[in-house]
Structure 1
Amino acid sequence: MSKLVVFSEGLEIGSEARFLLQGLVFRGQTVLGVAFKTKPIAKLLCLTERLVRDAIRELVEAGLLVTQKQADKVGRPGEEYVASQYLLDLLAKTGRSAVAHQDPILYLFNEPDIYAKGPLSEADTGYEKAARKQIRSDGRPAAPGACGRLGASTRVLLAALLTFADQCGVVTGVGEAKLRAMTGLSPVALKHQVKRLVSLGFVRIHVPGVSHGFFRGAKVPSTYYLNLDHPQLGGQRIRRAVLVYAESGPSRYARLTNGLAPDVAGALLNLGPFALDVLYHKLARYTSHLLSLTWGEPGEKYGVVPGSLAGMIGRELEQLKVGKPGQSEAGYYWPGVLEHFFEVAFEWAEHLKKRLNGIAWQGYKPQLVRLIPAPEPKENGDILRIVTLILYPAPENQHSCIVYKDVRGGFIREFDSEADLHVRNRYEFGLLTK
């Protein structure tokens, strides 16, 4: 596979320069092995000459490219560029090619015709005209970012997230500082590009992390749920199954606090919605861990699984402290919270297995299961709690999307794929957010 040097955190270059650099690297000796000029590279990569010119200047200043004059030409000598020894040394490093989801990453850097097509674009009568492939007056295709194409900065961030995503598209433990270092985006630009990825459906849900202001002495990074089967990621075959489960159940805050001592539950609730949502998605991940290891098996078959879950909870939650008026600077750990999260994750996993095993895909054993809790419903009328399970790999020769409404008068409906769900339902199920 081609090398991926674009995410080297020591590179002092912006996102567009990183995009150009990776495009050059993917083409290997056909480009980097010889001197090249701005205009041919712009045409080859379907970029504007201005973007290429500005990006090349950054790469030269960073020592990744070297400028040389065309001394044999008559008149004003032109400029050509060659790979520097610094860049060649980066390419020679081992392990650079070992990245996750390499096919969609390669696609992001190689395919100009990836459109910034949001989930609601099909209902937009103006989209078809905007997305039509257009040719510039000089005969070259319009650059990515033009005519509705996905821009370079957006692609670089999505590729960075893909390097950390598991097979169900969940990204955890990656802070904003690391993403900025990998992509060259400023804090403001990073937030803007995350919102753009959410609006286009590449990121299903973004759960913002929380700072020291919520948990004393510890930051919690954001969680990103990516849609790895997005149609603009290369038209690959569906690799994941989707199981939407709706039931009458406790709210997320009730699930987090039921069973805790009143003072501990109060301390938890006083953290506010941002911190509570972070903790709820952690609880969903712990439940996913149990489901991944025991799907299709009864509870007594857990074996050593409880130990692995306890270790996961301990590593993540023992560091979180909450201050109290009059207490020491050290803060305090919530009594019983670690054990509580273990018990709730176990109960939730067993409940889902009881309700869903035998309903969906008889005999199917996924390698990985990830829960995506849907947004909380408004407090009116009959309240359904919805959680979507993303399962990898998708079962062979079966429908890959099931919706199960588990109430009196409920239903089970099967679809060939998630794409067959109405857009409104995908938002309702938490598969898309705004």
Structure 2
Amino acid sequence: MSAKLLAKQLGLAEKLIRDAMAELTSARLVVVDDASSVRRGRPAIRYELASTVLSALPKRDGAYGVHADLLVRLFSAAVSMAARGSAEQVGKDRRVTKEGRLAPPGAANYLSACNRLLLATLLAHADPLGMVKSVSRGTLCRLTGLDEFSLTHRLGRLKSLGLILAKVPGLSSKLFPGARVNSTYFLNVTHPRLGGGNGAVWCRTFDPEISSPTLDQVLRPDLDRNFGAKDHPVRCFLKGGAAFGVLRPMILRYASYLLSHHREKLGYESSFDCQSLREKIAADFQRPAGWKVGDVSFDRDWAQVVDHFYQLAFRVARDFRRVVDIDYRFDEVCLVPLDGGFQYVLWLNVVDESHEGAPCAGS
């Protein structure tokens, strides 16, 4: 494939393609075929993937995740032009720097090549609703070639454009297995810049009179009559964890699980208890080394820690269920965490993509 054709398909400048191909050729990832053109003049330079690259490519379907179609749209010329507008309009929108030069493409309110690459990397690791939670910053830097500073800047750019709905920063804490939790990103897979989005997913703003757990509710639970303030199992477990910014989104994720899989059991007078969610919660946290398994007292303490997060999630799910009618054929519900609560609700329907009127209390 020639640089000119590739530039046309990706909606990028031909010079950018040529420079990139030169680097890929130097890295022996791409080889050059200097076949003579059938026309007169300078032979057309065509590029092919190196045999070592072809042999390393995944042979299975779905190698690029559930959003493979969105990746194609993201790098198509049509979506590229829709994202940035006409060439004439882009020229009008381009800002001028203090040095009198045209500002970079991002200043014209459209996606640059690097930003599209970053977004594509996130999409390749996202679940059907657009949540990315298994990729570290180091991995993102390695896959995109960006340094830490540039990664931070470009993630902020995607968020300002609405392509990232929310981000939950990762942290190191003894509360979690491996003592580390990666950042979580919530992508807007319905964004117009992705060519119309995924027809199976709805994204709706939501602002009911439902609040997510407060800091006091998460870190300072009501004292059990059998424990003093300093001896309460939950307080002992959370001591020194400083992980409220991660714990609250986790609670919303647990509430989303209940809404997705057990919504019909979240009625006004339901005494439903979800053992599978309790198991998920227990697996997400690191039981203290001193709390020996099999010891009646420590087993009780650990059960109380799990129950603490379970009850917080159950209240959110129950309150949400009372406000919103979700008795539709939607397979997944995701409450997207924002400061002080949640504003976006993602609905996934893989059963009936033609369903109209996604259930929501706001728009």
**TM-score > 0.5, shorter chain as reference:** yes
Per-residue deviation, 1:75: 9.6
Identity among equivalent pairs (%): 32
Corresponding position of 2:215: 253
Report if the CA contact (8 A) 1:100-1:163 is conserved: yes
Per-residue deviation, 1:225: 1.3
Amino acid at match of 1:371: L
TM-score (norm 1): 0.63
- Partner Cα separation in structure 1 for residue 93 and residue 8 of structure 2: 15
Corresponding position of 2:172: 211
Which has the larger helix fraction?
2
Q: Which residue of the other structure, out of 136, 139, 163, is the alignment partner of 1:178?
A: 139
Report if the CA contact (8 A) 1:268-1:276 is conserved: no
- Partner Cα separation in structure 1 for residue 176 and residue 58 of structure 2: 42
Deviations 1:100-148 (A, max 9, x none): 122211101113214269xxxxxxxxxx9438899xxxxxxxx986954
Q: 1:391 to 1:40 in 2, by over 3 A?
A: closer
Corresponding position of 2:49: 83
Q: Which residue of the other structure, out of 242, 264, 267, is the alignment partner of 2:204?
A: 242
SS in 2 for 1:167: coil
The answer to whether 1:281 aligns with 2:243 is no
Amino acid at match of 1:402: A
Q: 1:187 to 1:320 in 2, by over 3 A?
A: farther
SS in 1 for 2:181: coil
Which stretch shows the higher mean deviation, 78-87 or 339-348? 78-87
Deviations 1:248-289 (A, max 9, x none): 7575212313235633538747544xx211111011111111
The answer to whether 1:317 aligns with 2:285 is yes
- Structure 1: which 5+ runs fail to align? 1-30, 118-127, 135-142, 323-332, 377-384, 404-417, 419-434
Per-residue deviation, 1:204: 0.8
The answer to whether 1:58 aligns with 2:23 is yes
- Partner Cα separation in structure 1 for residue 246 and residue 92 of structure 2: 41
The answer to whether 1:195 aligns with 2:156 is yes
Amino acid at match of 2:160: S
Q: Which residue of the other structure, out of 140, 154, 166, is the alignment partner of 2:127?
A: 166
Corresponding position of 1:102: 68
- Partner Cα separation in structure 2 for residue 342 and residue 130 of structure 1: 51
Q: 1:80 to 1:145 in 2, by over 3 A?
A: farther
Report if the CA contact (8 A) 2:168-2:184 is conserved: yes
Per-residue deviation, 1:370: 0.9
Per-residue deviation, 1:296: 2.9
The answer to whether 1:392 aligns with 2:358 is no
SS in 1 for 2:265: coil
Per-residue deviation, 1:68: 4.3
Report if the CA contact (8 A) 1:364-1:395 is conserved: no
Q: 1:230 to 1:321 in 2, by over 3 A?
A: farther
- Partner Cα separation in structure 1 for residue 41 and residue 52 of structure 2: 32
RMSD: 3.9
Per-residue deviation, 1:92: 6.6
SS in 2 for 1:87: helix
Amino acid at match of 1:208: P
Corresponding position of 1:432: none
Q: 1:199 to 1:334 in 2, by over 3 A?
A: farther
Amino acid at match of 1:48: A
- Partner Cα separation in structure 2 for residue 343 and residue 83 of structure 1: 54
Corresponding position of 1:130: 90
> How many residues are paired up?
326
Deviations 1:380-418 (A, max 9, x none): xxxxx6554322228823265423xxxxxxxxxxxxxx4
Per-residue deviation, 1:336: 3.6
Q: 1:392 to 1:301 in 2, by over 3 A?
A: farther
- Partner Cα separation in structure 1 for residue 271 and residue 204 of structure 2: 24
Q: What aligned pairs does 1:13-52 form with structure 2 within 5 A after superposition?
A: 31=1, 36=2, 38-52=3-17
Per-residue deviation, 1:203: 0.4
The answer to whether 1:226 aligns with 2:187 is yes
Report if the CA contact (8 A) 1:42-1:48 is conserved: yes
- Partner Cα separation in structure 2 for residue 253 and residue 201 of structure 1: 27
- Partner Cα separation in structure 2 for residue 145 and residue 395 of structure 1: 35
- Partner Cα separation in structure 1 for residue 156 and residue 281 of structure 2: 29
SS in 2 for 1:240: strand
- Partner Cα separation in structure 1 for residue 215 and residue 189 of structure 2: 29
- Partner Cα separation in structure 1 for residue 196 and residue 288 of structure 2: 42
Per-residue deviation, 1:298: 4.2
Deviations 1:80-107 (A, max 9, x none): 4333212332347334645212221110
Q: 1:197 to 1:213 in 2, by over 3 A?
A: farther
Per-residue deviation, 1:320: 7.8
Q: 1:116 to 1:276 in 2, by over 3 A?
A: farther
SS in 2 for 1:350: helix
- Partner Cα separation in structure 2 for residue 320 and residue 67 of structure 1: 57
Q: 1:342 to 1:233 in 2, by over 3 A?
A: same
- Partner Cα separation in structure 2 for residue 76 and residue 98 of structure 1: 37
Q: Which residue of the other structure, out of 402, 407, 411, is the alignment partner of 2:361?
A: 402
TM-score (norm 2): 0.74
SS in 1 for 2:249: helix
Per-residue deviation, 1:306: 2.2
Q: What aligned pairs does 1:341-360 form with structure 2 within 5 A after superposition?
A: 341-353=309-321, 355-356=322-323, 359-360=324-325
Corresponding position of 1:407: none
- Partner Cα separation in structure 2 for residue 389 and residue 78 of structure 1: 51
Corresponding position of 2:235: 265
